[in-house]
């Protein structure tokens, strides 16, 4: 909700092959011959996190403009070339990363390789396309945030949960900031962050690593190393006391969102935090779901998300959409009761085992998709190194009931939470 986050865990890191080109570009290859396709992804270690105040939306705007051509490829031609070669391509921006990707047959993936290498070095970001694309992005913001009650609530809740850390900014950018961005902002950002030494490549699928690596070297090896990009070292000061906000908008059902600051996967607590969210809201038999959806019939649905895969400490959030006629205060009180219980008493052995089973099954299911596997490798690499993937299941298996209670006590602290409530307004003239 606050960033793109991955919910399930995949891939055996032992099978990943790492190489680093002389210009600093890291290449991660994973052969998987289940289906006749290859996913190729270029990850830039830059996102909304690297923006300055007043320039929100810059990383995402640049992502859009990366499709506007190079000296050898016309505007939007990239997508056409991939499509006519039977591929699917796209890109996304998060707080931490900007990622470009295509999935194609093994015979055709070389085309994607050449095109990505070209735009890593030669994107034109043409002036002529800047203003129309700005409008497109404003439409994107209207579609995804302004007219979407859950996104709108998430955006303002993040803005209040963080005071100085850049995670307080929406990835798409504030409308006002988008309006004021100029092309030179993009050019500067591109020069600073789009370099081989600030990027890495992930390839998963039906290819031979032995054949692929020389092709990647040939395409990307000639791109010169760039300057070392500035580091973002902003630590959010400790929250001392609950923050609350109300957001009013035309909608049907109220929403309640509680965000608690929590560490990322660099902390050993992240395994227990993952299991805690499963115990709370993973599946219909989980505590909060069973209690609030099934027994008390207060909410339509309830989710608990913990995004450990983030470059800086992120959070654990609990999100509920209320049933008609239910008061947000009632729901908050019942959620709080559930959280107090998990802090006061140990969960049962069976609950712990059930949560672990769910995580392990999800781990297997996630390997069904080569794209999903590539995403997993990429996120781990972006945050703490892909080798940490192998720590995941052993880390989960070691978690005890005491660990779950301890992290619940430590992180589900009302003084370190932000509660956002969406109150529907009705102004239907018809």
Partner 1 sequence: MKKSLWCALALLISTRSVSPASAAMVSKRTVLDNGIVLLTSEQRALPMVTIELLIDAGSRNEPVNQAGLANLTSQLLTHGTQKRSATEISETLDFMGASLSTAAGEDVATVSMTILKKDLASGLELLADILTHSNFPQPEIDRQKQAVIASIRAREEDPGSVAEKAFAAALFPKSPYGRPVEGTQSSVKGLQQKALQEFFTRNYRPNRTIIAVVGDVAEQEIAQALSRDMKNWTKGTPAAKPTAPAEIGKAQNVEVNKDLTQANIVLGHNGVARGNPDYYAVQVMNYILGGGGFSSRAMDSIRNERGLAYSVYSYFSAEKSHGSFQFVMQTKNETAFEAIQIAKEEMRRMRERPVTDQELNDAKDYLIGSFPLRFDTNRKVAGFLAQVEYYELGLDYPDRYASLVRKVTGDDVLRVAKQYLHPEELITVIVANQKETGQKK
Buried b vs exposed e over 155-175: b needs ≥16 C-beta within 10 Å?
A: bbbbbebbeebbbbbbbbbbb
Whether residue 138 contacts residue 178, with contact meaning beta carbons closer than 8 Å, is answered with yes
Complex with partner 1: residue 188 or 368, whichever CB lies closer: 368
Can you tell me the distance from the alpha carbon of 193 to that of 197, in angstroms, rounded to the nearest whole number?
Answer: 9
Please, what is the minimum distance in Å from the beta carbon of residue 93 to partner 1?
A: 5
Can you tell me the distance from the alpha carbon of 363 to that of 295, in angstroms, rounded to the nearest whole number?
Answer: 30
Would you call 336 a catalytic residue per the annotation?
A: no
Complex with partner 1: residue 225 or 290, whichever CB lies closer: 290
Length, in residues, of the chain = 430
Q: What DSSP string runs through 228-288?
A: PPPP----PPPP-S-EEEEEEEE-SS-EEEEEEEE--TTSTHHHHHHHHHHHHHSSTTSHH
Can you tell me the distance from the alpha carbon of 367 to that of 32, in angstroms, rounded to the nearest whole number?
Answer: 10
Q: Residue 324 corresponds to which tokens in the numbers above?
A: 């008609």
Please, what is the minimum distance in Å from the beta carbon of residue 150 to partner 1?
A: 9
Beta bridge partners of 422: 247, 255
Complex with partner 1: residue 21 or 309, whichever CB lies closer: 309
Q: Residue 380 corresponds to which tokens in the numbers above?
A: 């781990």
* CA 213-66-135 angle, 5° bins: 155
Can you tell me the distance from the alpha carbon of 412 to that of 408, in angstroms, rounded to the nearest whole number?
Answer: 5
Please, what is the minimum distance in Å from the beta carbon of residue 360 to partner 1?
A: 6
Please, what is the minimum distance in Å from the beta carbon of residue 201 to partner 1?
A: 19
Complex with partner 1: residue 136 or 344, whichever CB lies closer: 136
Complex with partner 1: residue 21 or 62, whichever CB lies closer: 62
Per DSSP, the three-state class of 134 is helix
Can you tell me the distance from the alpha carbon of 94 to that of 167, in angstroms, rounded to the nearest whole number?
Answer: 10
Complex with partner 1: residue 38 or 419, whichever CB lies closer: 38
Please, what is the minimum distance in Å from the beta carbon of residue 182 to partner 1?
A: 16
Complex with partner 1: residue 223 or 255, whichever CB lies closer: 255
Q: What DSSP string runs through 157-178?
A: HHHHH-SSSGGGS-TT--HHHH
Can you tell me the distance from the alpha carbon of 377 to that of 287, in angstroms, rounded to the nearest whole number?
Answer: 31
- Residue 230: exposed, middle, or buried by beta-carbon count in 10 A (0-12, 13-18, 19+)? exposed
| Set 22, 51, 63, 155: catalytic member | 63
Please, what is the minimum distance in Å from the beta carbon of residue 275 to partner 1?
A: 13
Residue 286, C-beta contacts closer than 8 angstroms, at least 6 positions apart: 278, 279, 280
Please, what is the minimum distance in Å from the beta carbon of residue 296 to partner 1?
A: 11
Complex with partner 1: residue 272 or 299, whichever CB lies closer: 299
Long-range CB pairs of 151-157, under 8 A, 24+ apart, other chains included: 152/247, 152/249, 152/422, 153/247, 153/255, 153/257, 153/420, 153/421, 153/422, 154/1, 154/2, 154/257, 154/420, 156/245, 156/247, 156/420, 157/245, 157/257, 157/259, 157/418, 157/420
Please, what is the minimum distance in Å from the beta carbon of residue 345 to partner 1?
A: 19
Give catalytic residues, as residue numbers: 63
């Amino acid at each position: 909700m606050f960033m793109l986050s991955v919910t399930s865990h995949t891939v055996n890191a032992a099978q990943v092959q790492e190489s680093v080109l002389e210009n600093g570009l890291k290449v991660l290859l994973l052969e998987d011959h289940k289906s006749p396709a290859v996913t190729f992804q270029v990850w830039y270690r830059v996102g909304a996190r690297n923006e300055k105040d007043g320039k929100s939306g810059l990383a995402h705007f640049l992502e859009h403009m990366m499709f506007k051509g190079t000296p050898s490829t016309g505007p939007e031609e990239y997508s056409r070339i991939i499509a006519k070669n039977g591929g699917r391509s796209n890109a996304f921006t998060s707080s931490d990363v900007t990622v470009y990707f295509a999935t194609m047959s093994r015979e055709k993936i070389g085309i994607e390789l050449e095109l990505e290498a070209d735009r890593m070095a030669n994107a034109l970001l043409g002036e002529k396309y800047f203003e129309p694309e700005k409008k497109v992005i404003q439409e994107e913001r209207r579609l995804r945030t302004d007219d979407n009650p859950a996104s709108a609530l998430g955006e303002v809740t993040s803005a209040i949960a963080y005071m100085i850390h850049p995670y307080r900014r929406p990835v798409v950018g504030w409308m006002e900031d988008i309006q004021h961005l100029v092309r030179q902002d993009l050019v500067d950002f591109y020069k600073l962050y789009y370099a081989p030494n600030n990027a890495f490549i992930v390839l998963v699928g039906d290819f031979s690593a032995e054949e692929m690596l020389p092709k990647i070297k040939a395409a990307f090896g000639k791109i010169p190393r760039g300057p070392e990009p500035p580091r973002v070292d902003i630590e959010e000061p400790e929250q001392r006391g609950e923050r609350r906000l109300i957001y009013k908008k035309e909608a049907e059902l109220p929403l309640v969102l509680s965000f608690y600051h929590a560490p990322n996967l660099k902390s050993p607590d992240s395994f227990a935090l993952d299991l805690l969210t499963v115990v709370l809201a993973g599946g219909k038999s989980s505590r909060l779901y069973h209690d609030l959806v099934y027994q008390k019939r207060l909410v339509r649905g309830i989710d608990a998300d913990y995004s450990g895969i983030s470059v800086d400490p992120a959070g654990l959030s609990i999100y509920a959409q209320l049933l008609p006629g239910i008061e947000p205060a009632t729901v908050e009180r019942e959620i709080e009761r559930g959280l107090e219980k998990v802090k006061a008493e140990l969960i049962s052995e069976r609950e712990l085992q059930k949560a672990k089973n769910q995580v392990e099954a999800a781990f297997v299911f996630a390997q069904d998709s080569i794209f999903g596997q590539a995403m997993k490798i990429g996120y781990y690499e972006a945050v703490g190194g892909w080798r940490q993937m192998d720590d995941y299941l052993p880390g989960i298996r070691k978690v005890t009931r005491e660990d779950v209670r301890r992290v619940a006590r430590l992180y589900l602290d009302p003084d370190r939470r932000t509660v956002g409530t969406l109150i529907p307004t009705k102004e239907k003239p018809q």
